[in-house]
Each structure stands twice: as C-alpha cells, then as structure tokens.
Structure 1
Amino acid sequence: MDKRRPRVPASPEKNRPRLRVVEDDTTEPEAPAPAARETEEAPRPREARRPEPTADRTPSRRDRIHRFWQFAEEGNPYTTFWLLLGSALALTVFGLVMVLSATAVESVGTVDGAYGVFLRQLTWAGIGLVGMFVVAFMPRGWLKKLAWPAMALGVLGLALVLTPLGYDVQGNRNWIRIGGFNGQPAELAKIALCLWTGVVLARKGPRVRELQHTIVPVLMPGAALIFAFILWGRDLGTALVFGFFLAAMLFVSGTKARYFFVAGATGAVGAVLLALMSPNRTVRIQAWLGINDACSLPQDFCYQSQQGLYALASGGFWGVGLGQSRQKWNYIPEAENDFIFTILGEELGLLGALTVLLLFATLALGMFRVASRSTETWVKITTVGIMAWVIGQTFINLAMVTGLLPVIGVPLPFISYGGSALTANLIAVGVVMNFAQTQRIEARERAAGSRSSGGKRAKGSKRSTSAKGAGVKSRRKPATV
C-alpha cells in the first residue's frame, strides 16, 4: 500500500514569489536582471519623480539663447541675400495692394480713373526694382566712388526745393516738380548720406573718437547742410529720420558716448523750440497730450488719429476683408500715405498687421547679419545706417498711427504711397544686397579653398606614406638563399 501522502495543490499564497535574504558577504552581489529589478523595486514616491530644479536647466537655456543669437548674428551667408530680396519684394507687393485698395474708392470719377494712383505706384516700383538689381550686382568698389557725387546731388536736390521748382504739400515744402516729374529729393538724400558717411567714417578709423574728427566733415558741413534745407522746408518728421540713422552710424563707428548725450539734449531742445515756433505743431502736440482741449478746435486735430484707431479696432483678428474697409471712404484723410497701416489693419486684421511686422523683422535680420559678418568698416557702418533708416522710420510711423507719438507726417516704408520714397527704399536694400552677395561669394571661395587644401593634404599624406614605405623597403637586406 502506497503510504505516501496525496499531493495537495499549493495555495495561491504559496506560489507568490518570496524575497530571499542575502547574507552579508565579502563578495559583491551580482546585479539583478532587469525583469527581476522591476518586480523587486518598490515604486518611487511622487516627490521622487518631480522634474529637475530650475537651476539645473540654466545651462540648457543659455545654450538655446546662444544658439539663437548665433543664428541671428551669423546665420548662413548663402541665405542672407535671399532674406533681403524676399522680404523687400513681399513688402513691395503688400504696398501695391494696399495703395490700390486705399485709393480706388476716392479716385473713381477723376481724370486718372480708379487705377490711376495704383498705376503710378506700380511704375515707380518697377523703376525701383530695376535700380535695386543694378546696385546689387554692380562692383562694390563703384559704391565707394559714387558716394561723393551722390552726396553732391542730394544737397543740390534739397536746394532746388527752395527754388520756384519746389512746392508745398500739407504745409511742408519738400517736393519739386520738373516737367511731369514730382518727387521728394530728401528720399534720395538719405541714400547719399548713408554711403558718404560710411566712406568718410571708415577712412577716419580710430580718429573718430576725437571730437574734431566726429564733427568735420560728417556733421559740419555735410549733415548740417541737409538738416538746414529740410528744416527750412518745415519737414520735422524727415529731419528726425535723418538724425536717427546718422546717430546710429556715428555710434557704430566708435564715437564716444558722452557726445551723444550732448547732441541728444541739444536736439531735444531744438525740437521743442521748432514745435513752439509753429502753431500747427504746437496744437498737434497738445492734441496728442490731451491738454488745452485741443481736440475741440474747429480744425479737429484729433480727427485723423481717432479715425485711424477706429479702423484698427474694427479689423479684429481676421479683418473685414481685402477692399472692404469703411474708414477709407473719406473718413481718414490721406489714407494711402501716412495712415495706410490703419487701412491694412482694418482689412487684413491683426494677422495681416503681424505679417507685415514679421517681414520688416526679416529685413532687419538680414541687414544685421550683413553688418555683423562684415570685416570692412565702411560696409558695416553703411549697412547699420540703412537698417536704422528703414526700421527707425517704420517705428516712427507705427507709433504715430497708434497714438504713441503725435502726427508728424512720416510715411511707412514700402507700404505708403510715394514713388520717390519707394524707389529710394528699394535702392537702399539693393546696396545691402550687394554686400550680402559679396559675402556669399567669399564664403563659397573659402569653402572651395578648404576642400582643395584638404584634398592636397590627403594626397600629400599618401605620398609621404608611400615614400616612407619605400624607404623602409630599401633599408631591408636582400634575402639570402
């Protein structure tokens, strides 16, 4: 008889894995298998799974900031040219579309018809694009040679404004009419002053830090003549733009900071005096500050700015639609000029306004890259001057239409109506494109030179290795039988 005990199935509790007690031994225990480790380790508490403290992330944030700054400062020399070209063309197209939308309503029934103003702007855009490409691909040395003749022509054009050829527009005498040609000589004088100042300051070099070399001949008599003609024509807004980019060029060239404080204080006092000498400017500043009840005057100096704010507010995020603006129906005076950004914001909304601002930022990024990568002083100074001119004028116009500054009559580059202004802006971008094209060619030559030198080194090392091997073989004794 089989007296063995019957096998009883083990209970589930007995089948559970049990932890083995490992005695303290001198030998190092083996690491458990991954699967066993997962089953043996207890889950970590919630506090242990928290992210790393902020102090540990500081290096990564610094790296990201460094990479972003490196992207903005250096970038790729092959793409800077296309950044400038693409943003300039896109802004020009935006301007043409908005000029057509802002002027078609008021031009219906006139001699030129609904598309007369748009066709004139389109003609000037074509002339400006031709000039931009001509300047962009001309030899860079020609720009240096053209600096002095361009400066002479710029001063001569401003002097013609004070002759019978000049005429007033909205209280400012800054236009000339020669036959069927109308234009603002101050716009072309901006390019002339940028080129001439860059060449002169680069030639002076470190001597710019001395006061006499800072003043002569850049400020006296060069810039002084231009400011005299502009202020004689009562165009304070254009004078502010000239002063802004001229100060930026002097700063980049190495002028001492204390000179800027003295010049800034002098300029502020002069601007206040000029404003007090003109009743029109005084009332506009009072209307902007909301004092002396200037908005209740019969001229209604607050009307234009208020209607512009109404247009921006009614646009919302998406806008009311292209061509569907309500404020352009004779509510905003000169809607195609200084206040065209309000029409853009009304029709294209916040999305369209941000798109235009992004294009201006892209243009500024391309110019900043050209200036930072350049090894020539005159290229750096000239590029900074053009960038300060375009971006500074953009800031003044946007601050004016949004109420941050009083209405001073400064157009928006590339967008506002004005043939001479659009042509000057495109030619100025062409100058910077010329510098970017040169940097792209130099980068291509350096890359080709490094590849050729690398190939030569590789061939040279191969020859030396073979020669070394041949020398070793020659030193061996001949085998004996």
Structure 2
Amino acid sequence: MTSTRQRWWHRLWGWLEGAQASRTSYFLIVASTLALTAIGVIMVLSASSVENIGGQGSYASLTSQGVYAVVGLVMMFWLSRWRPDTLRRYSWILVIAAIVLLVLVFTPLGREINGNRNWIFIGGFSFQPSEAAKLALAVWGAHILAVKERLLTSFWHTVIPLVPVGVLIVLLVLLGKDLGTVLVLLTVLAALLFTSGFRLRYLFAGGAVGLVAVAAATLTSENRRVRIDAWMGQCDHVTDPCYQYEHGIYALATGGWWGAGLGQSRQKWSYIPEAENDFIFTILGEELGLIGALLVIGLFVALTIGLFRVAYRADNLFVRVCTGAIMAWLIGQAFLNIAMVTGLLPVIGVPLPFISAGGSALMMALMAVGVVLSFARDERRRALESESTPSTTTPKKGTVA
C-alpha cells in the first residue's frame, strides 16, 4: 500500500512539475487567463446590466470592462516578449512610480469611494494606484533579492531595503483605509521572503506582528468592527451588516447545480450591493450554478499549476521569487474573495481577479501574467538553444562520432 501511494504521489508531482513544462506552462497560463477574462467580462455585463438601465445603459459595462480587457491583453502579450533582464532594469522605476501614485491619492487628484480613499481621477479616467503597487512590489522585490542572492543568509541583507519599502507601501494603502488590499500586499511581501529562502521562524514572527497590526486597524474602525460582528452572527446593528452576505448566500443557494441561466439572476436587482464587483462570484453561482462556480475555481487551479511550474523549474532567483509573489497575489486574492462571499471570512472588500469589475485591477492582473509569460518564453528559448547546441562530449572508443 505504501509503495502504491508513493508511486501515485511521484506521478502527481511529475505531472505538476511537467516533463515538458517549458512547452506547456505558457499555453496553460494563457488559456486559463483568457478564459477567466472572458468569463469576467460576460459576468460584469450580466451583473451590472439591471442597475445601469436608467443610467448609462445596460451595455455600458461591456464597453468599459471590455476595453480594459483588450488593453490589458495587449499589454500582457507585449510584456511576454520582454526578457527578465529588461524587467529588472525597470524595476526601480516601477516601485518609485507606484509610491508616487499612492501619495497622489491624498492630493486633490484623489477621491474617496465607499469609505476608501484609493482612487485617482485625471480628466475622465480613474485609476487605483494600489493595484499597480502589487505588481511593482513583486517585480522590484524579486530584483532586490536577486541582487543580494549571495548575501541572503544574512537577516539584515534580506530585509533591507525590501521590508522598509514594502511597509511604506502598506502604510500608504492603509492610510486610504483599504484593509483588503493591505492583506494582499502583505501576502506578496511574505511570498517574496519565503521563496527567497527566508527562515520560517522570522516569517512566523513577522506574520504575528502583521496580525496584531491588522487587528489594531480593525478595532480602531467602527465599520470594520461591525463587519467582524456580522461575520460572527451579530446582525442587530442599525446598518444591517449581514444584508449583503445573506443575499449572497441566497444567490448561491438559488443557483443549484446548473444555475438559473445567464442573465437570469434575481439578486442582482439591487439586492446585493457591489454585485458586479466584490460579490460577483455569488451572481456567477446563481446564474451558472455549482458547475459554473467549479469551472472558475478549476481555471484558477490551472493558472496556479502553470505559475507553479514556471517558479519550480526556474534556475534564476529573480524568476522564481517574482513568479512566486505574483502567484501569491492572484491566487491568494481569489481565495480571499471566494472565502469572503461564502462566509468563511468576514467581508473585507477584495475583488475577484479577472472576474470582478474594475479596469485598473484587471489590467494589472493581466500585466502580472504577462511578466510570468516572459519567464516561460525565456525558459523555452534557452531550452531550444541548448537542444540546438551540438554536443561537445568525446565519443567513446569504437563508436562513430
């Protein structure tokens, strides 16, 4: 029995690692990303069509989200043509630009929406700098750790300047009261340290400090305290904090196995606040049923496998750390969102990557995938070069060279 289990595990691990991962990882990542993006555009149109009837029109979201999806895909394939060295060369520009944009949120260009000040409005366009900060932190942090590769056995060389800059970005986002994005950024920072070989006891200690800080931020905000109370079943507050979560559960329960049909959701008729954004997974479950929900989860699993293959097979520290951080960002955020709408976690306002409405979030997620695709292409290119290089080994005696 033990040998059978070992053989099964070795086969599973071999499949995850991929004997031809350099050939398949790229297409696995591209296929899952394209499918998630297409489902997202369709679901945003469906979830927002009713509330937009009396305003911009039922198809307004198709225009906005569709344009952002097209631009994001163009950027994704453009970045996939970059070499890892080029990404590293621009990493400092990325992180400095992200910090500057986060500071601009607190100028007259910034605007507060739903209690969070995390938007910049310039002309007729809006942008969420915290989304750009996720990608900038992942690329720049990986570059810094790769530069210090031989010094990573030292605690201080590992954490400086990565942790101070990461904490600065987190504090700027926290000042805008966006605790959900703070959790994602902390996940990215932890992934950078973990994949670089940082000692686990230091990570656990840092995680404990982070949890205390998040708890303090929660206790000092009445809105967040009410959300925690609602998650624990205390719904007697005057704002009715359980309303959104309860109607989300109603939507998922109504969907059943096969769903009510695309466009046939009842809860999107102004029953669920932010139906096209944070709670879009509930509308998806209502219209497409359990099968549709499992399909989306399966696509995220496929994306995880593709990202894991790129990181696992990388012989370059920058590639491995950057891919690990991006995987922690996208998959970790997807987990937080699905856990939130199903009641496993309190409502914290984290959108579902590729699916939820939001142009800047969609574009940054697609650009992050483009960065990993550049790594997969570079791995494939180097593999082809090694295959085409003639062997220089001396033939054995008695054989024909």
Same fold, TM-score > 0.5, yes or no? yes
Considering only aligned residues, what root-mean-square deviation do their CA atoms show, in Å? 1.7
Aligned to 1:103: 48
Q: Closer, same or farther in 2 for the Cα pair 1:118/1:456, shift >3 Å? A: farther
2:27 to 82, 92, 97: 82
2:116 to 172, 192, 195: 172
2:5 to 51, 56, 61: 61
Q: Deviations over 1:308-344 (max 9, x none)?
A: 0000011011111111111001100110000000000
Q: Closer, same or farther in 2 for the Cα pair 1:415/1:75, shift >3 Å? A: farther
Q: Which moved more, 1:58-67 or 1:300-309?
A: 58-67
**Structure with the greater alpha carbon radius of gyration:** 1
Aligned to 2:399: 461
1:422 to 347, 362, 365: 362
Matched, 1:150 2:90: no
Aligned to 2:158: 214
Equivalent residue pairs, number: 400
Q: Deviations over 1:188-209 (max 9, x none)?
A: 1111110000010111124233
Structure 2 counterpart of 1:365, which letter?
Answer: I
Identity %: 50
Q: 1:215 and 1:79 mapped to 2: Cα distance?
A: 35
Q: Which moved more, 1:308-317 or 1:252-261?
A: 252-261
Q: 2:39 and 2:146 mapped to 1: Cα distance?
A: 36
Q: Deviations over 1:132-179 (max 9, x none)?
A: 011001233210111000001000110110111111111000011011
Is contact 1:168-1:175 (8 Å) kept?
yes
Q: 2:335 and 2:400 mapped to 1: Cα distance?
A: 61
1:332 to 272, 280, 284: 272
Task: Determine helix, strand or coil for the equivalent of 1:409.
Answer: coil
Aligned to 1:372: 312
Matched, 1:320 2:260: yes
2:170 to 227, 230, 247: 227
Offset at residue 114 of structure 1 (A): 1.0
Task: Determine helix, strand or coil for the equivalent of 1:403.
Answer: coil
Aligned to 1:93: 38
Using the size of structure 2 for normalisation, the TM-score is 0.96
Pairs within 5 Å for 1:317-466:
317-449=257-389, 452-453=390-391, 461-462=399-400
Q: 1:186 and 1:345 mapped to 2: Cα distance?
A: 28
Q: 1:446 and 1:139 mapped to 2: Cα distance?
A: 18
Structure 2 counterpart of 1:66, which letter?
Answer: H
Offset at residue 117 of structure 1 (A): 1.7
Is contact 1:171-1:234 (8 Å) kept?
yes
Q: 2:331 and 2:37 mapped to 1: Cα distance?
A: 15
Q: Deviations over 1:410-434 (max 9, x none)?
A: 0000000000000000000000000
Q: Which moved more, 1:257-266 or 1:426-435?
A: 257-266
Offset at residue 454 of structure 1 (A): 9.4
Q: 2:394 and 2:24 mapped to 1: Cα distance?
A: 30
- Provide structure 1 residue ranges, at least 5 long, that are not aligned to the other structure: 1-54, 464-481
Using the size of structure 1 for normalisation, the TM-score is 0.81
Offset at residue 299 of structure 1 (A): 0.8
Ranked by relative contact order (alpha carbons within 8 Å, sequence separation 6 or more), the top structure is 2
Matched, 1:181 2:119: no
Matched, 1:277 2:220: yes
Q: Deviations over 1:212-257 (max 9, x none)?
A: 223310011x112201110110111000000012101101111112
